[in-house]
Structure 1
Amino acid sequence: MSSDPIIEKAPNTPGRREMNPLVKFALELGPLVVFFFANNRGEAIVTAFPSLAKLGGPLFVATALFMAATVAALIASWVLVRTLPIMPIVSGAVVLIFGSLTLWLQDDVFIKMKPTIVNALFAAVLLGGLAFGKPLLGYVFDQAFKLDNEGWRKLTLRWGLFFVFLAILNEVVWRCFSTDFWVAFKVWGTMPITMIFMLMQFPLLKRHALEPLFDKKP
Structure 2
Amino acid sequence: MNSKALGFFFGGLLPVIAFTVIEEYYGVMAGLLAGMVFGCGEIIFELYKYKKIQRITLIGNGLLIGLGVISLISSEGIWFKLQPAIMEGIFAIVLWGSWALKKPLLVYLAEQQGHQFPLIIKEKMSGFTFRIGVFFAIHAALATWAAFSWSTRDWALLKGVGLTVSFVLYLVIEGFILRRSIRKID
TM-score range, shorter chain: 0.7 to 0.9
By how many angstroms is 1:110 displaced?
Answer: 0.8
- Residue of structure 2 equivalent to 1:198: 171
- Residue of structure 2 equivalent to 1:121: 90
TM-score, length basis structure 1:
0.65
TM-score, length basis structure 2:
0.74
Change (3 A) 1:38 1:178: closer
- Is the contact between residue 130 and residue 157 of structure 1 (CA under 8 Å) also seen in structure 2? yes
Give unpaired runs (5+ residues) of structure 1.
Answer: 1-19, 47-56, 210-218
SS of corresponding position for 2:103: coil
Change (3 A) 1:197 1:74: farther
SS of corresponding position for 2:82: helix
User: Cα deviations across residues 66-113 of structure 1 (Å, max 9, x unaligned)?
Assistant: 233233333433444455444333322211211111122211121122
Which structure's CA Rg is the greater one?
Answer: 1
- Is the contact between residue 67 and residue 96 of structure 1 (CA under 8 Å) also seen in structure 2? yes
Question: Match for 2:97: what amino acid?
Answer: G
User: Cα deviations across residues 17-56 of structure 1 (Å, max 9, x unaligned)?
Assistant: xxx5379527852742452254234476x6xxxxxxxxxx
Identity across matched positions, percent: 21
Distance 1:149 1:94 in 2: 33
For residues 19-168 of structure 1, the aligned pairs below 5 Å read 20-21=1-2, 25=6, 28-29=9-10, 31-42=12-23, 57=27, 59-142=28-111, 143=113, 146-147=116-117, 148-168=121-141
- Is the contact between residue 74 and residue 84 of structure 1 (CA under 8 Å) also seen in structure 2? yes
Distance 1:144 1:189 in 2: 32
Query: Quick check: 33-42 or 65-74, which moved more?
Result: 33-42
- Residue of structure 2 equivalent to 1:5: none
- Residue of structure 1 equivalent to 2:143: 170
- Residue of structure 2 equivalent to 1:11: none
Larger proportion of helix = 2
RMSD: 3.2
Distance 1:160 1:183 in 2: 22
- Is the contact between residue 126 and residue 136 of structure 1 (CA under 8 Å) also seen in structure 2? yes
By how many angstroms is 1:141 displaced?
Answer: 4.0
Change (3 A) 1:107 1:139: same
Distance 1:72 1:144 in 2: 33
Q: How many residues align?
A: 178
Distance 2:58 2:177 in 1: 28
Query: Quick check: 177-186 or 151-160, which moved more?
Result: 177-186
Question: Match for 1:159: what amino acid?
Answer: I
Give unpaired runs (5+ residues) of structure 2.
Answer: none
Distance 1:86 1:208 in 2: 34
